[in-house]
Amino acid sequence: MIKTTTQTITTEASVLAAKELLARRKSNQKGEQLAEDIRPQNLDDALAIQFATVAETGQEIAGWKCLVPLNAEQTVVAPVLAGTVQQGASVKVETTEPGKTLIEPEIGFVLGQDLPARDQAYSEQEIDNAIASCHMALELMQRRYLPNDDLTFFDKLADCLLNEGIYLGPEITKAQAYDAAKINITFETKAENGDVETTQYDGKHPNLSAHKAVYWLINFMRERGVSFKKGQAIITGSYAGAIEVPVDTMGITYENLGQYQVTFTA
């Protein structure tokens, strides 16, 4: 069970919030901010709702999204629900509007062994040894709140920061993943007239190091009694922000790392 110290909402409230957010996931329908009595007020509230969301599915955590915090007010960490980590030539996505979906180009790290919660911090070497593979990856995203200027970071954190899932692309070496501070990324899609449309991004990792966030995540959650399991996939921040792309076949190139083709299906 996750350890919290400043939780203000009740366990029952976190479950009600989780049920509402899960219903939005399943229906792909956006809603208003949560009712005040179940709305998160701080980090522990948001984490409690995240773990209530996992519990409501009755399944294990399939992965994580994270980032070494860029400021004290925003802790980026969220579990990825079971059944939402995908591989292969085709990936199922939710649409943000007809014919479009939202993704973030990232690097994914897959654990090859368990890292149980413990009192002693895990060393970087121990975590390095636990990482079995590294991949070009995409975060799959879904908007579950209607636009609202009153939404706080904790509202979004409770909802796993738009996460819908992870797509794991081709494997790259650990050395490549650890050295990927900047990656120019190219998307290629076909226009209606058959022409190939190319969009390029000067990719830069928010932490200037994709793997450092894995070190942070393991120990941040370890302190809260959370264990990590073999097979879980971890993504650590976008090289180009959130990008809306067509639900179609797309070629994706990570400069000097590799390329792949994926077909998004709604």
Please check whether residue 190 lies inside any domain of the structure: yes
Please check whether residue 6 lies inside any domain of the structure: no
Domain containing residue 106: 60-148+163-265
We report the CATH number of the domain holding residue 125 as 3.90.850.10
Side-chain-side CA neighbours of residue 232 (13 Å): 24
Summarised one tens digit per residue, pLDDT across range 74-109 is 999 999 999 999 999 999 999 998 899 999 999 999
**Cβ(51)–Cβ(69) below 8 Å:** no
Summarised one tens digit per residue, pLDDT across range 8-65 is 999 999 999 999 999 999 999 999 999 999 999 999 999 999 999 999 999 999 999 9
**Cβ(257)–Cβ(170) below 8 Å:** no
Sign of CA dihedral 174, 176, 181, 182: negative
Number of domains in the chain: 1
Please check whether residue 17 lies inside any domain of the structure: no
17 SS3 class: helix
Q: Is the pLDDT of residue 194 over 80?
A: no
Please check whether residue 228 lies inside any domain of the structure: yes
At 146 the pLDDT is 96
Summarised one tens digit per residue, pLDDT across range 201-230 is 999 999 999 999 999 999 999 999 999 999
Please check whether residue 210 lies inside any domain of the structure: yes
Please check whether residue 38 lies inside any domain of the structure: no
At 191 the pLDDT is 77
**Cβ(42)–Cβ(6) below 8 Å:** yes
Cα dist from 159 to 9, 17, 172, 240, whole Å = 15, 9, 30, 22
Please check whether residue 197 lies inside any domain of the structure: yes
pLDDT confidence bin for 4, thresholds 50/70/90: confident
Residue 63 tokens, joined: 């992965």
At 5 the pLDDT is 80
At 1 the pLDDT is 62
75 SS3 class: coil
Please check whether residue 32 lies inside any domain of the structure: no
